[in-house]
Structure 1
Amino acid sequence: MTRRGLFALVPQVLGMAVGMAGMVAPAVVRPSKAQELRFLRIGTGRTSGAYFPVGGLIASLISNPPGSRPCEKGGSCGVPGLIAVAQSTGGSVDNIVGLQSGQLDLAICQADVAYDAYSRTDAKGVPDFAELRAVASLYKESLHLVARVDSGISTLADLRGKRVGLGDPASGTLVSVRLLLSALGLGEKAVKADYDPPSAAADKVADGRLDAFFFFGGEPVALITSLRERAEVTVVPVDGPAVEDLAARSPFLTLGLIRQQAYDNPLPIVTLQVAAVLVTRADMDDALIEAITAALWHRQTKILFEKGPPQITQATLGQAVQGIAVPLHPGAMRYYRKEGIIDRPGPMQP
């Protein structure tokens, strides 16, 4: 698919944007006055990952098309006149490119990739984008290393010489995995690397064309849950001294645990984690971003988060500025100050 096709507005996605499972009520009254209709594009990820359904939920929360039932009567509590569209993309890197070019207005991105873009660290594959700004930290993502049981891969050291999916070039997974392999003293040439999107990598693991693949995602990842029904696979720990050192050196990579119940694991699995952050451009209107942030954390949001994709169920206003990696957009910062979440500028608050 061409990038122009990737970012094209399509009716199916528009349907997701303006209503998921009836979250935006049908029009029952005429608006009291004419509203300016605005469209906003949210970059997400592959449809097989978590970013796409999470982005669809966010689109529905912040949208408030003309004629919607009023918020106080159980209707939309989004920004009046706004229709947000969740668009499938290649992932974090693709989303930064889309924001930079103006083809996207908001996007979900791994915090470490956002940091690389904003700070211009020259991370391989990540474009420099000093105008990147944060709106909210959403949830923690875990680095999954999924291997065939018969591959002989039970530790990171076993990857040498194996057929391994490292991630889509447009994704944040590949950026992080390259850091990991370097920290392990392996490098990409130490494995038989594959760069397919996650769904294709999972298919290759299922039929034996790959031994393992990496994927950064909020657990449980539906793709991995589905793969476990097709093939005997295991989620391998991402741990050891080199991983601990990498987490200690990285501003936004941390050690964490994949929950025991995520994939019926016998025990929690140690791995690297990073925040999934909603980001935008510095030139986006302050009042609009403030209104979007307020809609995202409206009092009804918690209920809708709990009914939404499993990754977003634990999102809270109190954690909205944790691990954001880049400066807050002034509009978002204004909202968080009004709510008492921040009371003075910090290292990521311009």
Structure 2
Amino acid sequence: MRMRRRSFAALGASILGAGVLAACGDDGGSGGGEGGAPAEGGEGDFVTDLTFGTGGTAGVYYPLGGEYASIYQDNIEGITVNYTDSGASVENIGMIFQQEWQLGIAQSDTANAAVTGSADFEGAQVDNLGWIAALYPEAAHMVTLTEAGFTSVADLKGKRIAVGDVGSGTRAVSDAILAAYGIADGDYEPFEQDFSSSLDLLRDGNIDASIFVVGTPTGSLGDLSATNDVTLLSLDEDTAQEIADGSLYEVYTIEPGAYEFVTEPLTTLSVAAALVASTTQVSPEVAYEITAATFEFADQITLPQSELITHDYALFGQGDVPFHPGAEKYYQEQGLL
């Protein structure tokens, strides 16, 4: 079942500000895990009415979360799962920490930042986040209109650039890419927009480029290319490798044919789209069933990414994010741990 999204501003403060991060640093908060272990709820703390944070409606997280919400509810006894659009990674993790939502999809690098207290979560740690599974790789797309004549990321200096929605993990990737080409804060005009809004701004000439991390292919980009000539900028291979070597990103190739307008391989960066869950509100038993259903019913997912949801990719990008105890049991039984 779909929920109406509450306004991101309705949290009272940005998740990056006095809201979630203040709570993360509060010893009286919901945490309690020690030595890197996730906090675990008592039996009375677990809930069966689950809210699943996804992403913007133009990306992959939203429809994928909607389909998995139905799969989980239909195949796991005793739970309901409502999905909601959101600002994506940071917001989803923040709402899990606040015990408002119980499931979410997030970039793997953002999940790692949350549990280590770095990047968007600098000075704080989210200690009730458990890894369920890496689902598929998602690639950074540097989208421009062909008529602008841009041939390199370096050409974007001084331009108007959409760098991701408030509460998404895209901003960190955008910053890393731009910095690698000598484009620092103040060298361009940033626009914090969701993917759909950024493409509308690009189409209407109100921005010059949109950087977004999304599963390939994404239908919204195909829609834009139906009305406009679109160019995806490629990273120099050496630059991409340099960024990857100092981060949790991987060098990734968008192959010809991924979009009709892509006729040669494009070099970019990727992270994993990861399913995460609250360790304080989702019981080990339910998390086990969710993990099993994620793979068992992947063939029911209608999106192109369904073919990538496999055991082989399940642990990609996990890094420092602890397993949810239920997921860990599943992987042990499957011989993956």
> Which range, TM-score by smaller chain?
0.7 to 0.9
The 1-side partners of 2:137 and 2:333 are apart by 25
Q: Provide the rounded CA distance (Å) in 1 between the counterparts of 2:222 and 2:124.
A: 32
Aligned identity (percent) is: 31
327-336 or 176-185, larger mean C-alpha shift: 176-185
The counterpart of 1:261, out of the listed 257, 261, 281, is 257
* Residue of structure 2 equivalent to 1:319: 313
Q: Deviations over 1:51-91 (max 9, x none)?
A: 00111121122113xxxxxxxxxxxxx21122211211011
Tell me whether 1:309 sits opposite 2:322 in the alignment.
no
Alpha-carbon distance between aligned partners in 2 of 1:56 and 1:126, rounded to the nearest angstrom: 33
Which range moves more in the overlay, 327-336 or 175-184? 175-184
CA deviations on 1:266-298 (whole Å, 9 max, x unpaired) are 112110011000011222311111121122222
Q: Is the 8 A contact 1:125 1:175 kept in 2?
A: no
Partner residue, 1:71: none
For residues 115 and 277 of structure 2, the distance between their equivalents in structure 1, rounded to whole angstroms, comes to 12
- Deviation of residue 313 (structure 1)? 2.4
Q: Determine the C-alpha separation between the residues in 1 that align with 2:163 and 2:124.
A: 19
Q: Which amino acid aligns with 2:325?
A: P
2:161 touches 2:207 (CA, 8 Å); kept in 1? Answer: yes
Report how many residues are paired: 295
**Once structures 1 and 2 are overlaid, which stretch shifts more, 232-241 or 116-125?**
116-125
Q: Of residues 327, 330, 339 in structure 1, which corresponds to 2:325?
A: 330
Superposed displacement of residue 4, structure 1: 8.7
* Bigger radius of gyration among the two: 1
Alignment partner of 1:289 out of 287, 290, 298: 287
Q: 3-state DSSP class of the match of 1:227?
A: helix
TM-superposed deviation, 1:177: 0.9
* Mapping of residues 1-350 of structure 1, within 5 Å: 2-3=7-8, 38-64=48-74, 78-123=75-120, 128-250=125-247, 252-264=248-260, 265-283=262-280, 284-298=282-296, 301-305=297-301, 308-325=302-319, 326-342=321-337
Looking at structure 1, the residues matched to 124 and 235 of structure 2 have their Cα atoms a distance apart, in angstroms, of: 27
SS at match of 2:183: coil
Hey, what's the Cα distance between the residues in 2 that align with 1:239 and 1:60? 41
Deviation at 1:203, TM superposition (A): 0.8
Q: Secondary structure at the match of 2:308?
A: coil
Deviations, residues 14-33 of structure 1 (Å, cap 9, x unaligned): xxxxxxxxxxxxxxxxxxxx
Taking the aligned partners of 2:309 and 2:257, their CA distance within structure 1 comes to 19
Q: Which runs of 5+ in 1 are unaligned?
A: 7-36, 65-77, 343-350
- How far apart are the structure 1 equivalents of 2:193 and 2:148? 19
**Matches of 2:241 and 2:170, distance apart in 1:** 18
Unaligned runs of 5+ in 2: 1-5, 12-46
The residue matched to 1:150 in structure 2 has which SS? helix
